[in-house]
Structure 1
């Protein structure tokens, strides 16, 4: 199973702020899905979308991080509980997991599951995301 969080709209792409119809992480998740014969793909979507403008997203996500707030997300219809191997794709925001990923992770039990993290970024790799995943799982 492939589970991902991505954001379209104004984004950094190769160091430049550009409008993307499909977010960077969604593109990566789709590429991974093509490697499997019958992939199950689930998107994590916040109930309230993030702004389209990149600078506004930076302000919003920094506020979430600083205030330790976590957005509510839409229900995932895929059978997470029945999947033992999960590819989890997400962007690196402020060297941390995006808050919708934390919301998602806290909704399930992770013992006896293997999580394969995939992170999109503009040069800072996973940041603290792997430590956060380990703590949550």
Structure 2
């Protein structure tokens, strides 16, 4: 069966080791594209109907509010099902010690029974936190493998790290 790289990523103003910097392509998207290229997997970007603000501080406040309210942001451009895939690489930035709430929406939309999920996240010091367990709790029936944490500020140089994980 086919492989899928499903990812949530955010461009615009981002945090890089103590500074804010504008980027055109999000760090998680860069890692997702590397994984897709190496594995031959299809790509699926998880996108909110109402995206967070381009300004970093406003985005953080919006994401924190969604986290505190356990919100499930509405998503756009999702496939009807994921039946064609048995192996899914799931990418996301670490928000509030977990995944962005939009990733929870994605995981709750589909039946992951019997599918293998390979989590990967970008971060600036938080690592995977407890996201592997969060995925196990949310994507019931899925086999969740050991994840990969990539420092977002070094993602452009992470190909060998990703290859080693794969």
> When the two structures are superposed, what TM-score results if normalisation uses the length of structure 1?
0.94
Q: Structure 1, residues 52-86: CA drift from partner, whole Å, max 9, x if none?
A: 00000110011011111111001323852220000
Structure 2 residue matching 1:84: 3-state secondary structure: strand
CA contact (8 A) 1:81 1:108 kept: no
Q: Report what 2:151 is aligned to.
A: none
* One of 10, 13, 20 as aligned partner of 2:13: 10
CA distance in 2 between partners of 1:77 and 1:121 (Å): 27
CA RMSD across the alignment: 1.3
Structure 1: runs of 5 or more not aligned: none
* One of 85, 94, 97 as aligned partner of 2:96: 94
> When the two structures are superposed, what TM-score results if normalisation uses the length of structure 2?
0.78
CA distance in 2 between partners of 1:115 and 1:15 (Å): 32
Structure 2 vs 1, CA of residues 52 and 88 (structure 1 numbering), >3 Å: closer, same or farther?
same
More helix as a share of residues: 2
4+ residue segments displaced more than 6 Å: none
Count residues with an aligned counterpart.
Answer: 136
Structure 2: runs of 5 or more not aligned: 140-166
Structure 1 residue matching 2:20: 3-state secondary structure: strand
Query: What are the equivalent positions in structure 2 for 1:32-43 lying under 5 Å apart?
Result: 32-36=35-39, 38-43=40-45
More strand as a share of residues: 2
